[in-house]
Amino acid sequence: MHKYEYRGVIFDLDGVLTDTAHYHYLAWKRLAESVGAIFDEAFNEQLKGVDRMGSLNLILAASGKDFSEADKLTLADEKNLHYQSLIAQLSPADLLPGAAPSLQLIRAAGLKTALASVSKNAQAVIERLGIADQFDVVVDAAKIKNSKPDPEIFLTAAAGLGLTADVCFGVEDSIAGIRAIKSANMFALGIGSPAVLTEADVVIAGLHQFSLQDYLK
């Protein structure tokens, strides 16, 4: 009999394992300013868990900007190139407190691990963070059709681990991500504020508070 009820843990990336949200913010802000769209840190909060094109559409719609689909693709590529230049400086020092020990603890206990991130740069980010070898499966936006809060990314990750959803649980810091986990019929561990992540099963401030014994028995 396995020691824990769960057999797999599926992690979001930004805000859970590392904080590249600021780099996304800087890249979106520069792009927004280049097309005369309004963008600030408060609006940036709405983009959490939203994929690149979805984020661009929200930014443009908020300022009443209208572009052709071809132009939108060009703008999204411009943002991504700037973002990639910003994250080139990432290193293991950019892991959030508790991230590396939590991954090691989970794998040492015999559970499988997957990454479920809407960022198409997810693989590059975890390689720079030095944790690529800590994941059995990586599912990013390129491998799914529907973004969070649709459960597809978590269901795809579970399938990649060879597990059913009921023996996996997800770790997320966004409302959209928590809803995706719950829609996949998984246990949802929220990272952040209980007042915000009200639909999560358990909320902790960060992975420095993570304990297999407390959350997985």
Backbone angles phi, psi at 26, to 5 degrees: -60, -40
Assigned token pair, 30: 């520069």
Convert the pLDDT of each residue in 97-114 to its tens digit: 999 999 999 999 999 999
Report pLDDT for 142: 87
DSSP 114-147: EEE-S-TTHHHHHHHHT-GGG-SEEE-GGG-SS-
Element (H, E) at 74: helix 69-87
Convert the pLDDT of each residue in 20-78 to its tens digit: 878 989 999 999 999 999 899 889 888 877 889 999 999 999 999 989 999 999 999 99
- Domains of the chain listed by start with CATH number: 8-18+92-216 (3.40.50.1000), 21-87 (1.10.150.240)
User: In this structure, are strands 202-204 and 137-139 parallel, antiparallel, or unpaired?
Assistant: unpaired
Q: Measure Cα distances from 53 to 17, 72, 185 in Å.
A: 23, 8, 27
- Residue 46 CA to residue 175 CA, distance in Å, equals 10
Q: What percent of the chain has pLDDT over 90?
A: 80
Largest separation between any pair of C-alpha atoms in the chain:
60
CB atoms within 10 A of CB 157: 32
Residues in the chain: 217
By annotation, the residues acting in catalysis are 12, 14
